[in-house]
Every structure is written in C-alpha cells, then in structure tokens.
Amino acid sequence: QKEVEQDPGPLSVPEGAIVSLNCTYSNSAFQYFMWYRQYSRKGPELLMYTYSSGNKEDGRFTAQVDKSSKYISLFIRDSQPSDSATYLCAMKRGNQFYFGTGTSLTVIP
Amino acid sequence: GAGVSQTPSNKVTEKGKYVELRCDPISGHTALYWYRQSLGQGPEFLIYFQGTGAADDSGLPNDRFFAVRPEGSVSTLKIQRTERGDSAVYLCASSLGRSQETQYFGPGTRLLVL
C-alpha cells in the first residue's frame, strides 16, 4: 500500500463548477501537507501548504486537512479552463516529500 | 528572477550507457532535491542536499545512481549502465533552507533509454 493515495481521475467539469480533489495517507508522522499543480511537460508548481488540521484559503483555492481521518482536500471555486492540469498532493516527513499519483483535471469552457 | 533550470531538457541514450543530468537551482537556495517521475505517477524522492552534502540519499534506487553538488549550487545526477527502466522525467527542486516547505521545481529532464 502506498503511503499517499490519490484518485488519478480523470476529472472533467464545466467552467464555473466547484472542484474537490482528495488524498488519503497512512502515516501519522506526516507533518506538512501541500498541493501542487503540474501542467503538461512542466515541473510541479506549489499552490498551497499547511501544517495543521483545518482550512486554509487562498483566492479560489481552499486546502483542508483532517489529521484524525488522515485525509486532505483541495477545493477550487469558480473553476476556469486555465485550471486544467494535474493536481498533486504531497506530504513531508523528515527530509522527504511524498507525492500522490496526481489527479488529471479538465475544465470545459 | 531566474527559476530552477535543468539541462538537457531531453536525453535519449542506449542501454548500458552513462548519463549526466544537470540542475541549476535558484541563487541562494541551500536545499536541493532530485526526484524521478514516471508516466502517470507523482514525483518519487531520490536525494536531498543541504549545501554541498547529501543529507538524505535513501531514495536512490541502487548504486548505479549517484549525485553531487560540489560547490553547494549546481548539482549533477549521474546514472551508470542505464537500463530501460530508468526512462522517466528527472525533476530537480530547490528551497531556501532546511525547514522551508516551498520547493521550486525545474522543468525536468526527459530521459529515454532505448
């Protein structure tokens, strides 16, 4: 079993929809939780990170962490075609970052 | 300012050959990471440098893989006796320091071993 599980999708939504992306993890030692966006043939780009359980908001993006359930989410409001990309969750333990497989998102105009 | 750069952007080699992949981090970033990303997968940790030293190389898959960062800036990932299974995108990321969670990734080097 992988330490970080993420549904690969693909996920297709109409423009303006609310998108929910999720990851689960098995190791309670993970301390920091991150979401990256990766466009085709590019490196991942950090969207948000958080240390603790609860919600963190940045513009149209909200990151949610539930440490008791070992579950993290990323919500995208008013989704735009430019949000079409692969979204990767990541978690840090010690010196290492552990990534999910990524969820492919397409926002249809 | 300039971001993380990686060269070459693409590398095609034959099974058994030696390859070197270069990473030029953001100026002033002391932490540098190498990852391998296979198709449809997330990045997989290979090695972490803090300054010139490899602080954690536990992700290197075997002794054919080696990385250096002699002056604490540019890093080179070296793969000996390449195998077809080494084909992947090799990503480099840098961050300001030991406790910085904000990693900046380069565009990657796409390695294809024939």
Tens of pLDDT, residue by residue over B52-99, are 998 899 999 999 999 999 999 999 999 999 999 999 999 999 998 766
CB-based contact A102 B41, cutoff 8 Å? yes
Run of H or E including A22:
strand A19-25
Rounded average pLDDT over A77-88? 97
Write down the pLDDT at residue A52: 81
Residues A106/B58, Cβ–Cβ less than 8 Å: no
- B81 vs chain A: nearest CA distance in angstroms? 26
Phi, psi dihedral angles at A81 (to 5 degrees): -55, -30
Residues of B in contact with A102 (CB under 8 A): 40-42
Tokens of A99: 């990534």
Write down the pLDDT at residue A89: 97
Run of H or E including A76:
strand A71-76
Q: CA B22, CA B9: separation in Å to the nearest integer?
A: 10
> Is B30 exposed, middle or buried, given 0-12, 13-18 or 19+ CB atoms closer than 10 A?
middle
Q: CA B22, CA B8: separation in Å to the nearest integer?
A: 7
Residues of B in contact with A34 (CB under 8 A): 101
Interface test with A, best of B6, B29, B58, B105 (most A CBs within 10 A): B105
Write down the pLDDT at residue B102: 83
Answer whether A54 touches B (CB < 8 Å).
no
- B12 vs chain A: nearest CA distance in angstroms? 16
CB-based contact B101 A32, cutoff 8 Å? yes
Residues of A in contact with B96 (CB under 8 A): none
CA B20, A87, A78 angle in degrees (round to 5)?
Answer: 145
Tokens of B58: 């536990």
SS3 content of chain B, % helix, strand, coil (to 5): 5, 50, 50
- A78 vs chain B: nearest CA distance in angstroms? 26
- B11 vs chain A: nearest CA distance in angstroms? 14
- Going through B15-108 in order, the beta strands assigned E by DSSP cover 19-24, 31-37, 44-50, 53-56, 65-68, 75-79, 88-95, 104-105
Q: CA A48, CA A53: separation in Å to the nearest integer?
A: 14
Rounded average pLDDT over B39-46? 94
CB-based contact A34 B101, cutoff 8 Å? yes
Residue whose tokens read 């002794």: B63
DSSP-based three-state secondary structure for B102 = coil
CA B1, B108, A83 angle in degrees (round to 5)?
Answer: 75
CB-based contact A49 B101, cutoff 8 Å? yes
Statement: residue A21 has pLDDT above 60: yes
Write down the pLDDT at residue B1: 56
Residues A86/A104, Cβ–Cβ less than 8 Å: yes
